[in-house]
Amino acid sequence: MNWPPEVQQDVIERELAQYRAFDQARRAGVACPDRPPLPPSHAPRGFRFALGLALHLVLKTIWLAASAAHAKSVMAWAAKARIEADDLWFEPRACGLNSSLTDLGLALVLAGETQAAIACLDRSWRVHPCPHAVTFGLRRELATRLGTCREAGAIVCQYWDALRLFTSVGRR
């Protein structure tokens, strides 16, 4: 599978610091610097944006329907397709990728592929911060599901630490 490039932890921490400065200025009522942008080369525009939005919404709808029907292979296919098309999402390598990797991991857990699901969890927090991720945090379902799995222990702890790091931006 062609995974989007992983965002390194130092880049994540630097971008979170920019969000923190933005949020603190906004709360203090002083002139805010611009909201920290995603790397401009990654944001689709125009037709690519419309195509990406439609594609991701259709694939997420397929995943949700497959999830309700317990169709693990269709769930995995839809999540993998969203990962492959991440560069078309309006915030590439951000919360949408976290969501897609979480969905893939959940499908893999249902299919009994625990090690692959752990790899999805490990990869899923390595994304660019975005307004959604710093406000609501990263998705928790896969970390919760793998929390009872002994071999996932260190990765689950690392994920919860990353979740706290992302959501610390909006705290006072």
- Spell out the CATH class of 9-28+42-170: mainly alpha
Q: Is the pTM of this model over 0.85?
A: yes
Determine the Cα–Cα distance for residues 125 and 141; give it in Å rounded to an integer: 13
- Please give the pLDDT value at position 43: 65
Determine the Cα–Cα distance for residues 107 and 79; give it in Å rounded to an integer: 8
Every domain of the chain and the residues it spans: 9-28+42-170
- Please give the pLDDT value at position 65: 98
- Please give the pLDDT value at position 115: 97
Which residues of the chain, if any, have pLDDT below 70? 1, 33-44, 170-172
For residue 61 the two structure tokens come to 């709808």
Greatest Cα-to-Cα distance within the chain, rounded to the nearest angstrom: 52
- Please give the pLDDT value at position 37: 64
Determine the Cα–Cα distance for residues 133 and 55; give it in Å rounded to an integer: 21
- Please give the pLDDT value at position 172: 52
CA 21 to chain centre: 22
Determine the Cα–Cα distance for residues 36 and 97; give it in Å rounded to an integer: 18
